[in-house]
A and B are shown apart, each in its own frame.
Chain A
């Protein structure tokens, strides 16, 4: 398995998906027959796009996966044990219609909120994994996202496990007001404690990683990986264009832009992600910690 073809795994695992809601929305063609790439605007048959692991065959833009799809191609089969599966958000600022909107999305996505967290294995190595899902309110960070991520990191710290977080987010969850902002402090605080305990944290930025998530735990990995061509940034593109009164270049706030400016360690293709993570996890295994403690 040393040289297993992960690309074919991606193909196998994603090709058989029954529905593809997110891609349908991106194109005006009915029945979701085509995928129109938001980066290069080229159009591909959805079947070909899916077989390519939801990567644009023209420009290599790595499109969005659901959290379940991500887990499938990332962790060992059957190894995922979900934490806090039944947590749902309340309505901290009594925002009109927020409960209804959540209920609707829960039914549509099968998720309780925009993140899955749990224990899993990659090539037999234990880790805590965090996967955000942009199909649920653009994976904005509210109480549940903040609490689940914080608990997952705390669990990893307590059990001396590494954390791998696949980030994707439109930013703060406006409907939760200031409570949403405080989740940035909570999650970053958990990372601080994980750091002090010597734990590894790998952040993998996927499309789109923006706003309050970029300005908190996503940017705090010991190692920061990004998928090719994905959107990464703090302020919204339109907000910046409005401020400077001019159009921004296409590659602004891309993974490549972040690499060039020094905010990402490496760009890794989806087909190689599992293998890269496995190698990095292996290089950070610390059996010596226990021995040192015993020698004292």
Chain B
């Protein structure tokens, strides 16, 4: 593992042209994958794909954000930036997984939800909000893995889960480093500097209790050995599914409570004693 790499150095690694995407990993990790299309409302977004798969013989639902490996693929999948129908397809498939008691495995890899006119018209904000809310109470285990870029609400819409893992070089942030630099410093060119102060590496996010596991990549980055990296992802999924199965057996309510609490505890504030009780009239 390249433990000491800075966030900006990791940014270079996840932007490497040869970095494997969900399209590479799915056939390496799952024995079968049957893709299901469409949100049943409006269309079929190619930035999020999903379907039923078999993981070492266990049926699972896979939902993945897709980045293209070349320009042609990128035009199809919109550079991994989903529209509302992508999130709504994801929710449809998640409900289907719940119905058939299949665990859900989300592969997250997006710069963010698409900022466009049609996306706004069709309720980008509402689509993300609804996924976040509905995933919180899904009655089936959910595992999310950040493969490369976990950008903002567009990533969170597939990352409300029981266990969150990140590939060693993956970054997960409230906004892209470029967006951060341009909003806070009005200077998008300070991207690398933003990257290094934002606390967005897997190690940072372990400390902030957002990430639960770090999945090692091949030496120098996943592109150096996609198969090795896929194997590492597989062993994480095996282990995680076993853990969640045990949790699941203790009772559904407990599992859903612990998912809620995983997010509930994140926050950094001070309060003076007794402030949670009702206070006097202003």
Interface size on A, residues (CB 8 A): 71
Quick one: which of B254-282 are within 8 Å of A by CB? Answer: 260, 263-264, 266-272, 275-276, 278-282
- A87 to B270, Cβ gap below 8 A? yes
Quick one: which of A217-264 are within 8 Å of B by CB? Answer: 217-220, 233-236, 239-240, 243-244, 248, 252-253, 257, 261-263
- Which of A92, A95, A174, A218 has the largest count of B CB atoms less than 10 A from its CB? A174
- Distance in Å: Cβ of B86 to nearest Cβ of chain A: 14
Question: How many angstroms from the CA of A80 to the CA of B173 in the assembled complex?
Answer: 37
Please name all residues of chain A whose beta carbon is closer than 8 Å to the beta carbon of B183 when the two chains form the complex: 174
- Distance in Å: Cβ of B210 to nearest Cβ of chain A: 5
A217 touches which one: B129, B210, B271, B278 (CB < 8 A)? B129
Interface mask (A124-150 → B, CB under 8 Å = 1, otherwise 0): 000000000000000000011011001
Question: How many angstroms from the CA of A186 to the CA of B124 in the assembled complex?
Answer: 19
Question: How many angstroms from the CA of A37 to the CA of B273 in the assembled complex?
Answer: 43
Quick one: which of B109-135 are within 8 Å of A by CB? Answer: 113-117, 119-126, 128-130, 132-134
Question: How many angstroms from the CA of A89 to the CA of B115 in the assembled complex?
Answer: 30
Which of chain A's residues has its CB closest to B121's CB?
A261
- A186 to B264, Cβ gap below 8 A? yes
Taking the complex as formed, is B28 at the interface, i.e. its CB lies under 8 A from any CB of chain A?
no
- B282 to A80, Cβ gap below 8 A? yes
Please name all residues of chain B whose beta carbon is closer than 8 Å to the beta carbon of A244 when the two chains form the complex: 116-117
- A178 to B208, Cβ gap below 8 A? yes
Question: How many angstroms from the CA of A90 to the CA of B152 in the assembled complex?
Answer: 21
Question: How many angstroms from the CA of A94 to the CA of B196 in the assembled complex?
Answer: 12
Taking the complex as formed, is A86 at the interface, i.e. its CB lies under 8 A from any CB of chain B?
yes
Question: How many angstroms from the CA of A182 to the CA of B172 in the assembled complex?
Answer: 11
Question: How many angstroms from the CA of A261 to the CA of B210 in the assembled complex?
Answer: 35
Taking the complex as formed, is B205 at the interface, i.e. its CB lies under 8 A from any CB of chain A?
yes
Taking the complex as formed, is B234 at the interface, i.e. its CB lies under 8 A from any CB of chain A?
no
- B123 to A180, Cβ gap below 8 A? no
- B270 to A182, Cβ gap below 8 A? no
The prevalent SS among residues of B at the interface is mixed
- Distance in Å: Cβ of A84 to nearest Cβ of chain B: 5
Question: How many angstroms from the CA of A262 to the CA of B113 in the assembled complex?
Answer: 20
Taking the complex as formed, is A202 at the interface, i.e. its CB lies under 8 A from any CB of chain B?
no
- A83 to B279, Cβ gap below 8 A? yes
**Known contacts A78-B281, A185-B156; A88/B270 CB under 8 A:** yes
Quick one: which of A246-296 are within 8 Å of B by CB? Answer: 248, 252-253, 257, 261-263
- Distance in Å: Cβ of A225 to nearest Cβ of chain B: 15
- B276 to A215, Cβ gap below 8 A? no
- B281 to A219, Cβ gap below 8 A? no
- A214 to B174, Cβ gap below 8 A? no
- Which of B113, B266, B269 has the largest count of A CB atoms less than 10 A from its CB? B269
A189 touches which one: B121, B133, B267 (CB < 8 A)? B133
**Known contacts A143-B268, A177-B200; A219/B117 CB under 8 A:** no
- Which of B115, B204, B270, B275 has the largest count of A CB atoms less than 10 A from its CB? B115
The 6 closest A-B pairs by CB, nearest first: A235-B115, A214-B125, A234-B125, A92-B268, A143-B267, A182-B266
Q: Can you show 11 pairs from A to B with CB atoms below 8 A apart?
A: A143-B268, A151-B276, A174-B174, A178-B173, A188-B132, A189-B260, A214-B126, A220-B133, A234-B124, A235-B116, A235-B119
